Structure 1
């Protein structure tokens, strides 16, 4: 079955960050000791905390570390066209009898005014696409688009992500309540941070430890420009 989605709840739950997520990252990073360029290779639990080893052999001693973070996989195949030939909707989707055959496209033209569609494969399909060349992946996405719009014109440019095989990500943070969303990833990270905080509290018994920081995080004001899809 092929369909074009006009579902009203999608229209208010999605938005496009006009100036990327950098303002969010910079605001959340204020006051924190963040070390870039330190890829962790090993974490060893000690009686009084954890010992973290990074790729260059340097070690750090910390009170706690994240034990696990929910990770899923959804890649993006960005197709840039000469002209817009699709309807002015947020999503175009394909519904199939098996999950592997389901797919959808995000319409960036609706928010950014560029003739761009983003194919969003997830799960096993996303992993299989990572084994393809960029050209083959773009061709695969275009074949899926033709199932929705048989008269679709060929893309003039394409870009393919490979989050699952990227050693610095190995997927995307995910949430059971808000899968495939930025606020879901954010809430998952906050839950992991809270778990670390509680482990430190259990060890030292200081109930007010980190509470000012966590309180500030909950009331952050971040200047953003969001274009509604």
Structure 2
């Protein structure tokens, strides 16, 4: 057990929405409503390392798939790292569906798209990494969003300190830059300053 004068809670919104942390006393109704109103989105990545670069020297590779939103956006990491790496992004419904697939199924689908673009003679990947943010117990999603019946006010409400001792930070508490790393960073700075000014 730890005792402290104040706590800054920085867990992702998905963890709060799942009730994985129990607050005693319970959170104020308005805070809990903000958590309930906001949505937690999915943006899963598939990182593929190849023996050589076979794609164009561009930053982003886009593809219009037969099935909406499937394997449509690729980031060329070779442009930044010098390594033969491609990252595919799959969001929302497609991203959630891929979480139910095995690694082999995901890689097979990714390679089917690349082979449509670059031909069947391209090499197989030598390594890969696959995210499944919706299943990750430390996040349960990738980023917050505003679904129907929610508003930016919910971000502001979640950012409000509770009795000066319980503060929240994270991208879902920044109404200007939600769903971003810089929003998360700025929210942590804000929460620390709020506590220091009240201490």
User: What TM-score do the two structures reach when normalised by structure 1?
Assistant: 0.53
Alignment correspondent of 1:170: 140
Question: What does residue 227 of structure 1 align with?
Answer: none
Residue 147 of structure 1 is matched in structure 2 by 116
Specify every segment of 5 or more residues in structure 1 that has no aligned partner in the other structure, as ranges: 1-31, 44-51, 177-189, 202-212, 221-229
Count of residue pairs the alignment pairs up: 153
Q: Secondary structure at the match of 2:7?
A: coil
Per the TM alignment, residue 121 of structure 1 is displaced from its structure 2 partner at its CA by: 1.4
Q: What's the RMSD between the two structures over aligned residues?
A: 3.9
2:8 corresponds, among 34, 39, 50, to 34
> Kindly tell me: are residues 84 and 191 of structure 1, through their superposed partners in 2, closer, same or farther at Cα, counting changes over 3 Å?
farther
The structure with the largest strand share of the pair is 1
State how far apart, in whole Å, the 2-side matches of 1:41 and 1:74 are: 18
Distance 1:125 1:158 in 2: 19
Counterpart mapping for 1:190-205 below 5 A: 192-196=154-158
Q: CA deviation at 1:119?
A: 1.1
Q: Which residue of 2 aligns with 1:85?
A: 54
SS in 1 for 2:51: coil
d(CA) in 1 for partners of 2:111 and 2:53? Answer: 14
- Residues 152 and 119 (structure 1), Cα distance of their counterparts in 2 relative to 1, 3 Å cut: same
Cα offset for 1:35? 5.3
Asked if 1:137 corresponds to 2:99, the answer is: no
Contact residue 60 and residue 74 of structure 2 kept, 8 A? yes
Question: Alpha carbons of 1:114 and 1:131: their partners in 2 closer, same or farther (altered >3 Å)?
Answer: same
- Per-residue deviation, 1:36: 7.7
Aligned-partner SS, 2:73: strand
Structure 2 equivalent of residue 180 of structure 1 = none
